[in-house]
Structure formats: structure tokens, C-alpha cells
Amino acid sequence: MHGKLRHDPAFAAISALLLDAGAALPVLDLGCGMGLLGQWLREQGHRGDYLGIDNDPRKLAAGRVAACGLRPAIELRAGDLAMLPPWRGHVVLLDVLHYLDHDAQGALLAAAADRLAGEGLLLIRGVLRDRSWRCRVTMAAEHLLAFAGWMRTPARHVPTQAELEAALQGAGLSVTARPLWGHTPFNSWLLVARRASPARVQRS
């Protein structure tokens, strides 16, 4: 676990963005797995509420054991991403979307956008579909994870950058995207979305 926290560039990048936006704003982590992001955030000084939701009881149980000494405590909850709880704060989707079909992705992005606080960020790390060798390597790795049983479902729809940007803009958000490969061979990207200003909406 500690190796993943150190070597996966997502944790440092996402925690820096969240802390810059306010160390007390609540974080909703959808598809949280073992809650590694919540554990990392606590180590970096985040003191707001953290709620992680996942449908894999094995990962949640392991995460609760690993996080038992954290203060403030983090909450890891079993749940369905199609039925999100009320929330106002930041929302994070870390390697989640490609396990949903196209329509479910759109519904989840809209629900996540509805739960952003005024200064909240919607942060999405995921694989994007393109013609790069990184995309091919990533999809091969996904097949191996599904075959090994670590992932409960295989990848269903890998979106393009244009698809995600259109969905987020349709939900009233402005969005930027940048590669988040780090030292890995995977086609990982970070999308940062926030509520569009009225002036920007009028110009679009």
C-alpha cells in the first residue's frame, strides 16, 4: 500500500489540488477501493470530512483496518455509485469511469457535478481512449486485473477526452485535462472540473 501511495502520481497531484482549494472542505471519493486517497489526505493535513464509497467489501474491510488510527477518522462505506448520498464539497473519481457503460458514465458525472460546493473540484483520474501505445498497455493490464479477480468487473467503456469534456461542460462545469503518467506506462489523465463562471458560460 505504501509503495502505491509513493509511486502513483495521482495521490500527490490530487491531494495538492484539494488542499489548495481548502484543507477543511469535505471530500467524496467515489470508487474509493481501500480509501488510499483518504489516508494520503490525512497524512498531508486534510482535516475535512472524507467519505469513500465502493462496492467491494474486501477492499473496504482492508481499508478500515489500515485507517483505524487516523484522526480525524475517515469513513469507508459500501454503496452503489448510481445512488449517491447528499453532499457538498469536492468529488473525486479515481480510475472508476471505464468500468461503467457510456450512459452510466454520463449519469455519474451529472450526479457528481450536482454535489460540488461553490469552490469544490471534481477531479477525475482515468484512462482515455486514443491510439497511443499507452492506451494499449493500459487495456492489457485491465484484462489481467479482471482475469485475476482483483477487479469485480472488466472495463466496459473507455471514454475519449472529447466525450468527458462534453459531458462535464453539459453539467455546467469548466474542465482542463493533462497527462498523469508519472513513471508508469499507463495512459492516465487528470481532468479538473469546477463550476463555470457566469461570464464563461455566456461566452460559450
Q: How far apart are CA 113 and CA 51, in angstroms?
A: 16
Q: Is residue 112 part of a domain?
A: yes
- Which secondary structure element, helix H or strand E, spans residue 124, and what is its range? strand 122-127
- Cell readout for 58 is 474486501
Residue 59 near residue 95 (C-beta atoms within 8 A)? no
One-character DSSP codes across 130-181: SSSHHHHHHHHHHHHHHHHTSSSS-------HHHHHHHHHHTTEEEEEEE--
Quick: pLDDT tens for 22-39: 778 999 999 999 999 999
Q: Is residue 194 part of a domain?
A: yes
Q: How far apart are CA 122 and CA 131, in angstroms?
A: 26
Average the pLDDT over 32-47 and give the result: 93
Three-state secondary structure of 183-196: CCCCCEEEEEEEEC
pLDDT of residue 202: 38
pLDDT tops 90 at residue 168: yes
Q: Which domain holds residue 101?
A: 2-33+84-203
For the domain that residue 148 is a member of, what is the CATH number? Answer: 3.40.50.150
Q: How much of the chain, in percent, has pLDDT values that exceed 90? A: 74
pLDDT of residue 144: 79
pLDDT band at 4 (very low <50, low <70, confident <90, very high): low
Q: Is residue 159 part of a domain?
A: yes
Q: Is residue 66 part of a domain?
A: no
Of 148 and 48, the structure prediction assigns the larger pLDDT to 48
Helix pair angle (57-66, 36-44), 10° resolution: 20
Q: Is residue 6 part of a domain?
A: yes
pTM: 0.89
Q: What is the mean pLDDT of the chain?
A: 89
DSSP-derived letter for residue 84 is P
One-character DSSP codes across 94-113: ES-GGGS-HHHHHHHHHHHH
- Using DSSP's 3-state secondary structure scheme, residue 176 falls into strand
- Which secondary structure element, helix H or strand E, spans residue 164, and what is its range? helix 161-170
Average the pLDDT over 112-136 and give the result: 94
Terminal CA-CA length for the chain = 43
- Which secondary structure element, helix H or strand E, spans residue 76, and what is its range? strand 75-78
- Cell readout for 136 is 494499449
Provide the domain count of the chain.
1
Quick: pLDDT tens for 82-105: 999 999 999 999 999 999 999 999
Q: How far apart are CA 88 and CA 181, in angstroms?
A: 30
pLDDT of residue 201: 41
pLDDT tops 70 at residue 47: yes
pLDDT of residue 143: 80
pLDDT of residue 181: 87
